A and B are shown apart, each in its own frame.
Chain A
Amino acid sequence: MIFSRRHLLAGAAALAVLPRHAFAAAADEAEGLLALLPDRTAAAKLGESWVQQEHPQAQAVLQKLRNLLPDGNAMKLREVIAEDFRAGAVVKVEGWQIARTQAELCALAYFATTGKL
């Protein structure tokens, strides 16, 4: 297949536009989850530490949380966290032992507040 200059320009334009749409959608989806954090700016600091430690991908974190907590429900979150501790899904962030899901929620806050979603 031979690409014309027009195709290439359209493709480049699409690449420029599509991620913006994708970002907006992701941010919207994240918003429901981040509503669980009354002070997301503070929680984002914990998320930042964990991101620097584990280097998770923003979209993967969002996707996992969306699957785990489709309604952004605090009661459900409590159950998920308890299950993490039961299952040994615990991470250490500067010594604090927290459920992996908690770390991911804080990471989501970090991605959202820094425009990395």
Chain B
Amino acid sequence: MFIDGRTLPAGTVIETDIAIIGAGAAGITLARELRDSGRDVTLIESGSLELDADTQALYEGESGAVEYPIAESRLRYFGGTTNHWGGWCRPLLPLDFDGRTALGIPAWPLTRAELEPYYRRAQPICQLGAFDFDDWEPWHARMGLTPMALPGDELVTRFFIYSPPTRFGETYREDVAKAANVRTYLNSNVTEILPNAEANRIERLKVATLGGNGFEVRPKLCILATGGIENARLLLASNSVQAAGLGNGHDLIGRYFMEHVTAPGDVAAIALADETRIPYYYLHTPDVDQASMRAILMPSDAYLKRSNGLSISLSLYAAHKPGAEPKADTKQLEPAVIAMLRSLEGDAKDGMIYGVACALEPIPSAENRVTLTRERDALGLPKSKLTWRPTRAERDSLTGNLGALARAFGAWGGAVKVLLPEGTDWADDEIGWGNHHMGTTRMADDPKQGVVDGNCRVHGIGNLLIAGSSVFPSCGAVNPTFTIVALALRMADHIKGGSLG
């Protein structure tokens, strides 16, 4: 059932077993999974079923370092940011869960093996085809695909499988609407999460609408699922009992914000004399089963361990013929490079220049953080300020990884030009991002290291859970939505099993 919160009489009190704040990928997955749980579920969504400018404006905030599109990078209505996501899916790698101390990347309190069954259940939810992200054999058997035989052991081919992309708000609207035990309150904004005097249990949620009325939700269990920036914002703003913010006894909430570093343009160019050598599934996203796929290049585990480097995903596309579209002098040598490479091919193909785009694993840094400003939004909630800037170490790792790309393609008969200047720190116009907001309420067994425990329960607050990418202690080099859904499924199982109250 959908209920417009603006129609509730002011002062209404809603008692519920489980309150879920936020109806994005995590919140909707949880609501669907809890349909037959026998628990009364209240799903509270700030927006309505369509985008509304005034509601979206509640996301507006400040950038403290890199000028970041803090409002535009997410969507505040039923379905959340899945209303505009690109659909890139693949699970984190086992190595991503292990942590790498020398880089300051913490381990997760759970392993890939523990999350594996939930990834497999997330597969149909995200409307993906087969669960074949790393293994060539199924692709070869189905479609005759074979990998590029790049020499060396530094780079390997892996796959992204693309969701259509699933718009959770549209695709699962009916499921949520028809669930007898789920009531969804639209146009309803939680403005404070109120605990008891000891701050070890959540008692009430203050809810306000832009229409001016307010009501209250009293949950036995509360799940915060409003995204990587908003989760931190709401906890920091919930300071009636704990002045530093709810669950913020160790000054961790908002810190360790992570983003995948990309670049506004290509990070490298690859020249090949034979334009038929890179298979089309590295350059395009062909349809397979219900979805589409793309082969990408990533560093091997062995290389990452050897180089002490960060993970990266490298995607290729055919950019232009050699020397075409010359910009200043940057492409003057392309025909010469191709002429040189023909010494290895021995035929008269035209050659091709390929562009390389990347998503780089970030190093979690306490200085990259979400804080509150003095300015308030239309509901009186402090606005968020996002201070994020990738580090020199990340840049150095990126250029190191591009060196591996150069070695692999060079030994394969190609040539690589790194387009990012080496030996310098980031210039503002070199920094791109994936609109992935992660890490601000990160997961750790030790309350001094993380906001939530391995079950995504806030340390010290028995009935407050956090869902979404804000709990990621690290994030590899892959898009977060698939992992968000897998973690939500795991949380739902734990709730239904009674282990989370």
Contacts and interface: CB of A to CB of B under 8 A. Distances in A.
Interface string B400-441: 000100110011010111110000000000000000000000
A98 B410 contact: yes
A96 B151 contact: no
B318 interface: no
Interface string A1-12: 000000000000
Q: What secondary structure prevails in chain A residues at the interface with B?
A: helix
Contacts of B342: 37-39
Contacts of A84: 410
27 contacts: A36-B343, A37-B340, A39-B342, A41-B339, A42-B335, A42-B336, A42-B338, A43-B336, A43-B343, A46-B336, A77-B344, A81-B410, A81-B413, A90-B407, A95-B418, A96-B271, A96-B333, A96-B337, A96-B415, A97-B406, A98-B337, A98-B340, A98-B415, A102-B343, A105-B340, A105-B343, A106-B340
B337 A46 contact: yes
A85 interface: yes
Interface of B: 151-152, 271, 332-333, 335-340, 342-344, 346, 348, 403, 406-407, 410-411, 413, 415-419
A95 B406 CA distance: 11
Interface string A61-89: 00000000000001001100110111000
B355 to A, nearest CB: 14
B454 to A, nearest CB: 43
B339 A42 contact: yes
Nearest to A106: B340
Contacts of B415: 96-98, 102
Contacts of A81: 344, 410-411, 413
Nearest to A83: B411
Given A46-B336, A81-B413, A98-B337, 13 more contacts: A37-B340, A38-B342, A38-B348, A39-B342, A41-B339, A43-B343, A46-B337, A74-B343, A78-B413, A86-B407, A95-B419, A96-B271, A98-B340
B343 A37 contact: yes
B333 A93 contact: yes
A80 B337 CA distance: 17
Contact of B417 (A38, A43, A95, A106): A95
Given A43-B336, A46-B333, A97 B343 contact: no
Contacts of B407: 85-86, 90
B260 to A, nearest CB: 25
A37 to B, nearest CB: 5
A74 B333 contact: no
B344 to A, nearest CB: 5
A99 interface: yes
Contacts of B338: 42
A93 B407 CA distance: 15
A44 B339 CA distance: 9
A98 B333 CA distance: 13
B410 A85 contact: yes
A82 B411 contact: yes
A105 B340 CA distance: 8
A111 to B, nearest CB: 15
A116 B311 CA distance: 47
Given A45-B333, A46-B333, A93-B333, A86 B339 contact: no
B152 A43 contact: no
A49 B337 CA distance: 11
A46 B152 contact: no
* Max chain A C-beta neighbours (<10 A), residue from B332, B342, B343: B343
B411 A43 contact: no
Contact of A97 (B152, B339, B416): B416
Contacts of B417: 94-97
Nearest to B329: A94
Nearest to A45: B336
Nearest to A75: B344
Given A38-B348, A97-B416, A102 B406 contact: no
B333 A85 contact: no
